[in-house]
């Protein structure tokens, strides 16, 4: 592929899919349309959960190979590259939510992960969430928020190390706003002052808050996001290294090569070759 495709739901390139709170379907419903192979892709605004109850799947989750067996849950936040190869006897469901609904509850943000076994509470939370979505009644939005909150709690309890503690107070809110801006603008700017000005504080204050809440500098947050995208593009696309660098704001290929070498310990071409061999 020339670039990593960004879909609404897999195979729906237009992003016109309308939903209330969520969309859900069986794994069979979509995977059989694609001969049980879902190529590497990502969703720009969607948070997705895949709950496998029978059969098997080989999953690629942001460059890491994972095997899904019955009673496995795959958690895929927005922006994470993922793909599947399912067995023909696969069973289960896929639930797709809006990432901003997941983040708007003030709970821990689930990261990309696979949970194996001990999924009863997650399955129950999914069943109640989809049942409310299918049969909305009085106070529907309140009920959906409550069921979604219980789902996030079930995910955190099943895999507590995968979810960072939620930020609290003004410091947490400012750092969250910064991280959201980084997600939107990392291709255009790596200047801490640009982000600090956008959220109305000084770059010194932003650095102090990032070290307090995240344990690293604001520049490190920006560079790690750029490095993540560089890694994804090197692994999943066939774009020339020079073009990947240019799209990430490095017009000089030498600067991009030095950045990748500093972040990963090897030049872009060597990193791409190593990841693809693995």
Q: Looking at the structure, tell me whether residues 108 and 150 fall in a common domain.
A: yes
Q: pTM score, two decimals?
A: 0.69
Alpha-helix runs per DSSP H in the chain: 27-31, 99-103, 120-134, 140-158, 169-185, 192-199, 203-213, 218-236, 241-247, 253-264, 268-277
Identify which of 179, 183, 159 has the alpha carbon closest to the alpha carbon of residue 49: 159
CA 181 – CA 218 distance, rounded (Å): 12
Q: Looking at the structure, tell me whether residues 157 and 21 fall in a common domain.
A: yes
Q: Looking at the structure, tell me whether residues 142 and 203 fall in a common domain.
A: no
Beta strand pairing call for 91-98 and 64-68: unpaired
Q: Looking at the structure, tell me whether residues 144 and 184 fall in a common domain.
A: no
| Residue where a domain stops, chosen among 131, 146, 162 | 162
Q: Looking at the structure, tell me whether residues 93 and 53 fall in a common domain.
A: yes
The burial of 184, by beta-carbon neighbours within 10 Å (0-12 exposed, 13-18 middle, 19 or more buried), is given as exposed
| Phi, psi dihedrals of residue 166, rounded to the nearest 5° | -65, 145
| Residue where a domain stops, chosen among 162, 193, 209 | 162
Q: Looking at the structure, tell me whether residues 191 and 144 fall in a common domain.
A: no
| Residue where a domain stops, chosen among 123, 138, 162 | 162
Q: Looking at the structure, tell me whether residues 81 and 216 fall in a common domain.
A: no
Q: Looking at the structure, tell me whether residues 125 and 176 fall in a common domain.
A: no
The parent domain of residue 88 ranges over 6-162
Q: What is the pLDDT along the chain (278 residues), one digit of tens a residue?
A: 566 666 666 556 554 444 568 899 999 998 998 999 999 998 888 999 999 999 999 999 988 899 999 999 999 998 889 999 999 999 999 999 998 888 888 787 888 999 998 799 999 999 999 999 888 889 998 999 999 999 999 998 887 654 444 445 688 788 888 988 998 899 999 999 999 999 999 999 999 999 988 889 999 999 999 999 999 899 888 899 999 999 999 999 999 999 999 999 999 999 999 988 87
């Amino acid at each position: 592929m020339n670039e990593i495709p960004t879909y609404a739901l897999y195979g729906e390139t237009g992003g016109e899919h309308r939903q209330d709170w969520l969309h859900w379907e069986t794994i069979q419903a979509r995977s059989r349309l694609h001969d049980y192979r879902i190529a590497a892709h990502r969703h720009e605004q969607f948070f997705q959960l895949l709950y496998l109850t029978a059969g098997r799947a080989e999953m690629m989750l942001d460059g890491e190979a994972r095997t899904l067996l019955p009673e496995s849950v795959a958690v895929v936040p927005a922006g994470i590259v993922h793909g599947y190869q399912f067995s023909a006897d696969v069973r289960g469901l896929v639930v797709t939510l809006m990432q901003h609904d997941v983040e708007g509850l003030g709970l821990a943000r689930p990261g990309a992960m696979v949970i194996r076994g001990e999924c009863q509470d997650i399955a129950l939370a999914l069943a109640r969430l989809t049942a409310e979505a299918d049969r909305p009644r009085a106070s529907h939005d309140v009920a959906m928020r409550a069921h979604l909150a219980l789902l996030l709690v079930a995910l955190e309890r099943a895999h507590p190390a995968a979810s960072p503690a939620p930020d609290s107070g003004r410091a947490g809110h400012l750092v969250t706003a910064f991280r959201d801006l980084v997600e939107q603008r990392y291709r255009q700017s790596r200047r801490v002052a640009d982000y600090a000005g956008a959220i109305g504080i000084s770059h010194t204050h932003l650095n102090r808050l990032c070290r307090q809440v995240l344990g690293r500098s604001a520049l490190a947050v920006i560079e790690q996001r750029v490095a993540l995208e560089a890694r994804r593009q090197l692994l999943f696309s066939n774009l020339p290294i020079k073009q990947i660098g240019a799209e990430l704001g490095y017009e000089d290929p030498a600067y991009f090569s030095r950045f990748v070498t500093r972040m990963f310990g090897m030049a872009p071409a060597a990193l791409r070759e190593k990841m693809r061999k693995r």
